[in-house]
């Protein structure tokens, strides 16, 4: 069965510092991969997605993610974090069926 | 920009009562989904719906849950006899072609069972 693991429950970074949020998936083939962000009290907003092709994908708000098949990973990165990036980040996978499965989420705190 | 709309934004109900959560997906989308998020926990898949029938459902989606597309625009989630543990944020989502297109999420309905 497909699954998504986000090993870091909570990460704190200083404003201006770089960020990497980890995501590992378990699936027999290459799934479709997504990163969503959820601000407090809000719905889910898509940051970026990977279907095929270039393994480094660019998203909104300066985020990017790299698909590494050998590591079954799809880590999210940002070179310089802004205070407004404080939110919950969810990695998600869609396999052969149409249900999207989410990781447990990583809460990002940004220090001034 | 088209968006998924959910109503109400907050629903309070007594244990044992039936609730219906409503969603209006994006108009040209064909796949519809319900997810829930218990406070402080991850987003959990409930059900996907395509061509007027359930295509996938999770172990959470038991007999007390049902979904319906009563007309050309609404997509509803009914919980027949609510329990305290049904208290959560419920998100509706839709996608144009299913797995190879992104799902757009509504703002959610916060359900509180008392």
User: Cα torsion at A19, B42, B31, A77 (round to 10°)?
Assistant: 10
Nearest to A105 among B42, B98, B105 (CB): B42
Q: What pLDDT, on the 0 to 100 scale, is given for residue B46?
A: 94
B66 vs B54: CA distance, rounded Å:
9
Start-to-end C-alpha separation, chain B: 36
Q: Which of B48, B105, B107 sits opposite A98 (nearest CB)?
A: B48
Residue located via tokens 């209006």: B24
Q: Nearest-CA distance from A41 to chain B in Å? A: 8
Residues in chain B within 8 Å Cβ distance of A42: 107
At B64-96, the pLDDT tens digits run 999 999 887 899 999 999 999 999 999 999 988
Neighbours of A15 (CB within 10 A): 14
Closest CA to A75 of A6, A15, A9, A13: A6
pLDDT in tens, A54-111: 899 999 999 999 999 999 999 999 999 999 999 999 999 887 666 778 898 999 999 9
- In chain B, residues with a C-beta closer than 8 Å to the C-beta of A90 are 42-43
Q: Write out chain A residues lying below 8 Å of B33, CB-based.
A: 98-100
Within a 10 A sphere around the Cβ of B60, how many other Cβ atoms?
Answer: 14
Peptide bond into B90 cis (omega under 30): no
- CA A72/CA A74 separation, integer angstroms: 7
Number of helices (H), then strands (E), in chain A: 0, 12
- Selecting from B41, B98, B102 the residue whose C-beta is nearest the C-beta of A34 gives B102
Which of B33, B98, B108 is facing A43, going by the closest CB pair? B108
Q: Which residues of B touch A101 (CB under 8 A)?
A: 45
CA angle A70, A3, B62 (to 5 degrees): 165
Per-residue pLDDT tens over the stretch B44-71: 989 999 988 998 899 999 999 999 998 8
The reported pLDDT for the residue numbered A97 is 67
- Taking the CA of residue A63 as centre, how many other CA atoms within 13 Å lie in the half-sphere pointing to its CB? 23
Report the mean per-residue pLDDT for chain B: 92
Whether residue A99 and residue B41 make contact (CB cut-off 8 A), yes or no, is: no
Residues 6 or more apart whose Cβ sits within 8 Å of residue A54: none
Cis? peptide before B8, omega within 30° of 0 = yes
Q: Can you tell me the distance from the alpha carbon of A12 to that of A30, in angstroms, rounded to the nearest whole number?
A: 31
Residue in A99, A102, A107 to test binding to B, most B beta-carbons within 10 Å: A99
List, for residues A19-41, the tens digit of each pLDDT value: 999 999 987 677 889 999 998 87
Report the pLDDT averaged over residues A49-54. Answer: 88
């Amino acid at each position: 069965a497909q699954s998504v693991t986000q090993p870091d429950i909570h990460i704190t970074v200083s404003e201006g510092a770089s960020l990497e949020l980890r995501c590992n998936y378990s699936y027999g083939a290459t799934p479709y991969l997504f990163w969503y962000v959820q601000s407090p009290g809000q719905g889910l907003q898509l940051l970026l997605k990977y279907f095929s092709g270039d393994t480094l994908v660019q998203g909104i708000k300066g985020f990017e993610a790299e698909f590494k098949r050998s590591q079954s990973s799809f880590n999210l990165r940002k070179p310089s974090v802004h205070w407004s990036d404080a939110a919950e980040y969810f990695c998600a996978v869609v396999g052969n069926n149409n249900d999207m499965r989410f990781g447990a989420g990583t809460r990002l705190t940004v220090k001034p | 920009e088209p968006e998924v709309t959910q109503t109400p934004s907050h629903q309070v109900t007594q244990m044992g009562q039936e609730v219906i959560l409503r969603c209006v997906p994006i108009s040209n989308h064909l796949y519809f989904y319900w997810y829930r998020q218990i406070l402080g926990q991850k987003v959990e898949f409930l059900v996907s719906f395509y061509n007027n029938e359930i295509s996938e459902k999770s172990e959470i989606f038991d007999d007390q849950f049902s979904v319906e597309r009563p007309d050309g625009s609404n997509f509803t989630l009914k919980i027949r006899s609510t329990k305290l543990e049904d208290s959560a944020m419920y998100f509706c989502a839709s996608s144009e072609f299913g797995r190879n297109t992104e799902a757009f999420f509504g703002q959610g309905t916060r359900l509180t069972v008392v």
